């Protein structure tokens, strides 16, 4: 997995659950199946946390919690700026035949306001439109017999993928504009099941916040 997407996932997970400990971030991301679709491994999560902390995007505080020391992480102002930058880039930049950036960004879209998400999707749709126009020109040129026949079929595949993605992105942008889904600052329309580990993470977060306040 590219380092950029790893940073986006880890930084977004910290922002989503902060203050949160490293084990919780690891468990949560692995529950999303990131080993399969994002090719991210547990060691990469801890490595990214360490790097983000060194760069000042995340703060680490060691807390005494129930007789044990727990390292908890929170995003800084620069970390929030970095998260916005990474999210915008992954949502809007079209990388041919590489859907991973936008897949990663979509998993974090509830961290952002509705208008921001919709605008990024609309930008992506426009970029896809330009790519489709370019692929059609290439297809017309290669269909004239100036290229090997198999190249024509490869371009047809690429064109079909781009057209399908544009349709999906346009539909998603329309859904967001119409009030579908839930985003930052809005009541969440979906709740996890009662046995989801996220509920324990929420309880731990409240306890960590209380300890941090007591420490000043």
Give the per-residue pLDDT at 35: 86
Give the per-residue pLDDT at 2: 61
Just give the CATH number of 1-111+191-211. 1.10.10.10
Q: What is the pLDDT of residues 84-114, one digit of tens each?
A: 999 999 999 998 888 899 999 999 999 999 9
Domain map (residue ranges) of the chain? 1-111+191-211, 113-183
Extract the residue ranges of the chain whose pLDDT is less than 50: 1
pTM over 0.85: yes
Give the per-residue pLDDT at 1: 44
Pairwise CA distance, residues 166 & 156, whole Å: 15
- Strand arrangement, sheet containing 68-75: 20-21, 68-75, 58-65
């Amino acid at each position: 997995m590219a380092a950029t997407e790893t940073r986006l996932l880890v930084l977004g997970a910290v922002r989503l659950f902060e203050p949160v400990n490293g084990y919780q971030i690891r468990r949560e991301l692995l529950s999303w199946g990131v080993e399969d679709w994002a090719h991210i491994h547990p060691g990469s999560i801890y490595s990214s946390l360490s790097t983000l902390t060194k760069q000042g995007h995340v703060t680490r505080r060691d807390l005494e919690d129930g007789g044990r020391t727990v390292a908890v992480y929170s995003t800084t102002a620069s970390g929030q700026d970095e998260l916005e930058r990474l999210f915008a880039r992954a949502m809007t930049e079209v990388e041919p035949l590489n859907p991973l950036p936008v897949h990663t960004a979509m998993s974090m879209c509830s961290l952002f306001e509705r208008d921001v998400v919709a605008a990024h999707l609309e930008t992506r749709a426009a970029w896809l439109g330009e790519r489709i126009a370019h692929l059609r020109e290439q297809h017309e040129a290669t269909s004239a017999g100036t290229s090997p026949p198999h190249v024509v079929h490869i371009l047809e595949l690429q064109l079909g993928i781009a057209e399908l993605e544009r349709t999906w992105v346009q539909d998603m942008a329309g859904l967001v504009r119409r009030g579908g889904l839930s985003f930052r600052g809005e009541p969440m329309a979906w709740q996890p099941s009662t046995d989801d580990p996220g509920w324990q993470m929420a309880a731990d977060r409240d306890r960590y916040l209380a300890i941090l306040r007591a420490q000043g």
